[in-house]
Structure formats: C-alpha cells, structure tokens
Chain A
Amino acid sequence: MRHLLTLRETSQADIQYLLDTAYALREILERPVKKVPTLRGRAMITLFYENSTRTRTSFEMAAKIMSAEAINIAVGQSSVAKGESLKDTLLTLQSLKADCLVMRHSASGAAEFAANHSRIPIVNAGDGRHEHPTQGLLDMLTIRLHKGDLAGLTVAIVGDILHSRVARSDVWGLTKMGAKVRLVGPRTLLPADGDRLPVEIFDDLQAGIEGADVVNVLRLQTERMDKGLLPSIREYARLFGISPKSLRAAKPDVIVMHPGPLNRGVEISADVADGVGGIQSVIEEQVTNGVAVRMAVLYMLMGNAGSSQDEN
C-alpha cells in the first residue's frame, strides 16, 4: 500500500493493520513527553485546498509526535493563487524531497489524481464528497475501543449523508470489518446511489436507530440550505436531531459520535453532545483517536518512501 486514498480500495488486512497500529500508538498520547523518534528526518507536507482546523492540526500533531517535520502550505498564499495547476504543485513538492503529502481538495477524486502523478505517498484528507479515510479509521478505532470487535455491530449514520465524505469512508471501512451500516436522513439528503452501497437506508429516525450499537451524527451543512434541500433547520432538528429522547430507540449502551464541528441544537442536542444523564458521548475521544490513527498512517506509508524512489 503506497497511498491512502479511500477505504473502499483499502484491503481488510490493511485496515486491520492500521487499527492495530493506532491502538498500540495511543499509549504515547498519554505520556508526559509525547515524542518517539521513529520518523526522524522525514517530512510531511499538508496541502489543504479547503478549510480545516482539526484534521490538519491532527496530522501535524501526529507527524511531530513521531518526530517527522510537518510543513503546512496555506493554499491562499501559495503559487496556487497564481494559477499553478495541482499537478505542477505536486511535482514541486516532491522535488522539495517531502516524504509524504497530506491533501484536502474540494474535487472528488483529487487525491487519486495526485497519486497518479506522485512518487511520494499521498494521504487523502478529504476529497469533495468522496472519502475521508482517516476519519473513517478514527471512527472505527473509537468504536472498537468501546465495543470490542466491529463484526456484527449495527452502526447508524444520521444526517446529511449526501454531502458527506465521512459517511462514505465509514460505510466502506465498517462493512469491510463486518459491521452493519444504516444511513438515516431526510430523502433529500440521502445519496442517489444508496442502493449500490452495502447499507440499509432509512428516512425515519426512530426506525433507523432502533437497536443501534453506535449512532454517528453528521453535521448539517447549513450551506446546503440554499439549494432547497430542507424546508427549515427547525424542522430538521425536530425530525432528525439526536436528543436523549430519540436515543431511547437505540441499545441502552449506545455510543454517540460526531465528526465535528457541532451544530448544537440542530443535529445533536447539547445534552447528548456533553454526555448528560449517562449518555455515552465519545466525541472528544474521536479527536484523540484521530491523532493515533494518523500516526499509524504516517508510520505505515513513510516506511515505504524508499520503495517509491526505487521504482523511478
């Protein structure tokens, strides 16, 4: 495995390896001195064409804990603003002798395009509405830490599925590991190709989360409101918002996840987000697990840096 582009194309063995490795690496995050020397002398560049705080910071933390250099390219201040193409930007960055490129782009498939033109490992940190594989992995690690084996679990993903690259990575990753996945949301926010995904689809919240072991709540992307996909936020919150009451349909030990950022009172109530009244909200753990997962990804891919040069 030279790149991490999608979970759809990542084998079950590779996913298992990444989750096991991330699990082992978590311990470092609890140390007083969070530093191991493994990736010393290697450099990771982050190239984000879309806004991000947590994903980019998480990759930077991961690289620095593993002793790699972390260099961020602010696209707005770069040659991209002068009209440089993605391909030329890539060629320049690998000529700078970076060992790994972490990329976010608004176009689905941008990461694969980059991989086709790159001699160094590419990590997809989100491409359009396609995939966000490290988020999928951190969701899986979080579930595994709470539920043990992923096989046989029922995971309900609730909300704006249509625009969500998180949902797609979750679907492919979780089903590969034997979990059952349900997509739950209003019909206008469910994907048109839902019948070709290995999932069950629900447009009713109660039916969709009944008996679920995990409820993963997606952010309602209010910018989508302009397109007339939803009548009102208030109606969405009433029908699809996750509250202590709506959670009663799920299993009593259900865990609630959210990839962030949160719209409190819209897709998730404050009580659920904060874990009031015995509700198991694992949203903060997801952020921590994200660092461990990205450490595992860098550990796996940067060890391959030698092979990519051999091929050329």
Chain B
Amino acid sequence: MQSERSENGSAFGSAPRVAGGKDIPLMDADDIRRAVTRIGHEIVEKNHGATDLALVGILTRGAPLAERLGAVLRQIEGVDVPVGRLDIGLYRDDYGVNPADRPGLAPTDIPFDVTDKRIVLVDEVLYTGRTVRAALSALLDLGRPACIMLAVLVDRGHRELPIRPDFVGKNVPTARDEHVKVLLQETDGDDAVLLVRSED
C-alpha cells in the first residue's frame, strides 16, 4: 500500500528515514499540543458533547494521538471517552504485492463495543487515504458504529480514494516525492513534524 506509513517507518517496523540535514520543521511540540487541544474542542463542538464518543488510534502513531485526545476530552467535558487501538495490517490492499516486504502485525485492542458509538478515527498523517480505507473496513468488521469521523495531525494531500478528514491539525501542501515525518514522545522520544525531501 502506498500509504503515509511506509515513509514514516511506523506500523511495519522499518526504521525512520533519516535525511541528512534536509528535514524542514513543520510543527514543534507546542504546535502539536495546540493542534490536539483544538481538535479536541472541535470534536466536542461537532458532537454536542462527548456522549457515545469513542477514539480509535491507528497503530502506530495514531494510538498515542488518540490517548492525547482522550486526555483533552476529559479536561473539557470531564468524562472518560473510551480509547482503542487498531492495526490495519490484515486489511491492507497490497498484501503479497511485494513479497520481500514482511509487514508486522500488532494486536488490535478495542476495549468497547463499537456498535452505536460515534467513533473518531485518529491517525498522524493523511496521504493516499488507503490506510483510512483499511481502518474503516477493520472497524466495520467489529460492529456497526453510529458514525465514523476522521482526525489527523497532518493532511498532506494526494488522495487516491474519496476520503476526507473531519478534523485536521495542519494542512501541508507536499510533492509526492516528499515525506511527512511525525515524531511523538510516546513512540520516538520527541514531538515534531518534519517535511523530508527525498535525496535523489
């Protein structure tokens, strides 16, 4: 799958790409914190509260973002919104396309019944939309949510499917040969969003 994750080295175990000195910072830790806080407010506003809400982070980096959104919602509304994590590996549309690739799987953990929930799907970068398509299929296999919304930290464009986000931290126009790298404290020891130019 030509997804945002393959370049970010996230869900499938490859090392983060290192581009010597060519990374352009797009967001720092404070920017990320403000964006997550704002998205939290937008979620509450759009849903008229937090009733029946649930957050589902797409592994790897969507999961800590979902946890952070959960903390924001607790601050704003004073309720604990259930948070789950979803691995989309079994629902990718490119299984077996590149046999040398060996995508790892991590346990999906959705500790609530998705049926009738208003679910906010959370990921770090929205790119082709194929990861989100896979996540939608995976979620719908678990039940029948009342609705599914999409929150992303960065939307970098280049959609290949009719998918759009409901909540966006930052819109970043990119070229296809550029990569958006999201670092999070929980997974990478640092909070930052970088634009990485390819080195050829």
In the complex, which residues 99-115 of chain B have their Cβ closer than 8 Å to any Cβ of chain A?
99-100, 102, 104-109
User: Cβ of B102 and Cβ of A300 under 8 Å apart?
Assistant: yes
Find chain B residues with CB under 8 A from A20 CB.
104-105
* Assembled-state Cα–Cα distance A42/B83 (Å): 34
* Assembled-state Cα–Cα distance A21/B13 (Å): 13
* Assembled-state Cα–Cα distance A122/B61 (Å): 36
User: Cβ of B96 and Cβ of A24 under 8 Å apart?
Assistant: no
A31-B142, A36-B91, A37-B91 known; A24-B99 Cβ under 8 A: no
- State which size class the interface on A falls in: 20 to 34
When the two chains form the complex, which single residue of B91, B99, B106, B108 contacts A303, counting CB atoms closer than 8 Å?
B99
User: Cβ of B91 and Cβ of A304 under 8 Å apart?
Assistant: no
Tell me which of A23, A36, A39 has the highest count of chain B C-beta atoms within 10 A of its own C-beta: A36
When the two chains form the complex, which single residue of A33, A37, A66, A299 contacts B137, counting CB atoms closer than 8 Å?
A37
Tally A-B pairs: CB < 8 A. Answer: 51
A17-B102, A36-B90, A38-B95 known; A27-B109 Cβ under 8 A: yes
Whether A305 is near chain B, meaning CB under 8 Å from some CB there, is yes
Find chain A residues with CB under 8 A from B99 CB.
303-307
Scoring A residues 36 to 49 as 1 if CB is less than 8 Å from chain B, else 0, what string do you get? 11110000000000
* Assembled-state Cα–Cα distance A23/B106 (Å): 8
Tell me which of B87, B106, B107, B142 has the highest count of chain A C-beta atoms within 10 A of its own C-beta: B107
Find chain A residues with CB under 8 A from B87 CB.
24
* Assembled-state Cα–Cα distance A28/B91 (Å): 13
Whether B30 is near chain A, meaning CB under 8 Å from some CB there, is no
Whether B141 is near chain A, meaning CB under 8 Å from some CB there, is yes
Whether A233 is near chain B, meaning CB under 8 Å from some CB there, is no
Whether B15 is near chain A, meaning CB under 8 Å from some CB there, is no
Whether A302 is near chain B, meaning CB under 8 Å from some CB there, is yes
User: Cβ of B141 and Cβ of A24 under 8 Å apart?
Assistant: no
B158 to chain A, nearest CB (A): 25
Measured CB to CB, the residues of B under 8 A from A are 87, 89-91, 95-97, 99-100, 102, 104-109, 137, 141-142
Measured CB to CB, the residues of A under 8 A from B are 17, 20-21, 23-28, 31, 33, 35-39, 66, 299-300, 302-307
7 nearest A-B residue pairs (beta carbon): A24-B105, A307-B99, A303-B96, A36-B90, A38-B90, A24-B107, A304-B99
- Known pairs A27-B108, A37-B90, A307-B99; list 6 more (Cβ under 8 Å): A33-B141, A37-B91, A299-B105, A300-B102, A303-B96, A304-B96
